Amino acid sequence: MSRVVRLFDLIQALRRHRRAVTALALANELGVSKRTVHRDIETLTALGAPIEGEAGVGYLLRSGFLLPPMMFSEDELEALALGGQWVKQRADPDLVDAAENALAKIGAVLPEALVANLANPALVSAPMLETAADAVDPRVLRAAIRRGRKLRIGYSGDRGPRSERIIWPFALVYFDAVRILAGWCELREDFRHFRTDRISSATELDERYPKSRRQLFESWRAQEIVARRRKVTPAVAGN
């Protein structure tokens, strides 16, 4: 392993830990000696990396430190290329453009020897034969999620007529054939899942929902875990 790659891997390891981590733990994670970790920490600090801590206590990389994306490993590049293909095959046009732009930006700063890993990937995502078309502009859904705003939607469930709901959207889940908008439904006072091809209208409201998106997501995920353990079908809009 070259020293440059080792230093980059150390930065990545520190970034994965939100709390101070000992040199021994870093050494075991990276497959090097504690002495090497201490020496590399000193080098990174001298180069300006905001690393706090000391030998015998632990090290912490302060938030906000960024490195240019030009030292990806081959596995990381293959993962990025595969993810980009998946998005381009299954997402809406705006996200397709975003995926292409992101890969182009990464390719522009990569060493020439690694550019081929993006241009001619070894891992290929198979396209879907048929995907349900969104009935509304997905940009409206994504914008409401980002801003934490309530949505008024018209929805046609599989077990009832069209209804109007006010929901607190917090996640857009991409399956192979359909997309699901997850949100808290004020009508049902519970989490519900809405197929985007059945949402006939969507209007973002000025009102923010009272909880953070992270709180909603964590509560929803906890409820889904309990449902799976009990082998209960998750609540679907229309009930």
CATH number at residue 16: 1.10.10.10
User: Is 233's pLDDT higher than 70?
Assistant: no
Question: Does residue 181 fall inside a structural domain?
Answer: yes
Last residue of a domain, one of 22, 40, 61: 61
3-state secondary structure of 224: helix
Q: Which residue has the tokens 């975003």?
A: 98
- The answer to whether residues 52 and 88 belong to one domain is no
Q: Are 202 and 152 in contact (CB under 8 A)?
A: yes
Q: Using CA atoms, how far apart are residues 180 and 172, in angstroms rounded to an integer?
A: 6
- The answer to whether residues 112 and 163 belong to one domain is no
Domain of residue 104 covers: 74-119
Q: How many domains would you assign to the chain? A: 3
Q: Using CA atoms, how far apart are residues 206 and 199, in angstroms rounded to an integer?
A: 20
- The answer to whether residues 55 and 82 belong to one domain is no
Question: Does residue 130 fall inside a structural domain?
Answer: no
Q: Tell me what pLDDT residue 56 has.
A: 76
Which helix (H) or strand (E) segment is 205 a member of?
strand 199-208
Question: Does residue 210 fall inside a structural domain?
Answer: yes
Q: Which residue has the tokens 């879907």?
A: 128
Q: Using CA atoms, how far apart are residues 115 and 23, in angstroms rounded to an integer?
A: 34
- The answer to whether residues 107 and 167 belong to one domain is no
- The answer to whether residues 100 and 177 belong to one domain is no
Closest CA to 23 of 49, 60, 48: 60
Q: Tell me the pTM.
A: 0.66
Count of all residues that appear for the chain in the document: 239
Question: Does residue 169 fall inside a structural domain?
Answer: yes
Q: Confidence class of residue 236 from pLDDT cuts 50, 70 and 90?
A: low
Question: Does residue 89 fall inside a structural domain?
Answer: yes
User: Is 127's pLDDT higher than 80?
Assistant: no
- The answer to whether residues 10 and 46 belong to one domain is yes
Give the percent of the chain with pLDDT over 70.
90
User: Is 216's pLDDT higher than 80?
Assistant: yes
Last residue of a domain, one of 19, 37, 61: 61
Which helix (H) or strand (E) segment is 60 a member of?
strand 58-61
Question: Does residue 86 fall inside a structural domain?
Answer: yes
CATH number at residue 144: 2.30.30
Question: Does residue 188 fall inside a structural domain?
Answer: yes
Dump pLDDT digits (tens) for 131-173.
Answer: 778 889 999 999 999 999 999 999 987 776 788 999 999 999 9
| 226 or 113: which leads in pLDDT | 226
Q: Using CA atoms, how far apart are residues 171 and 145, in angstroms rounded to an integer?
A: 7
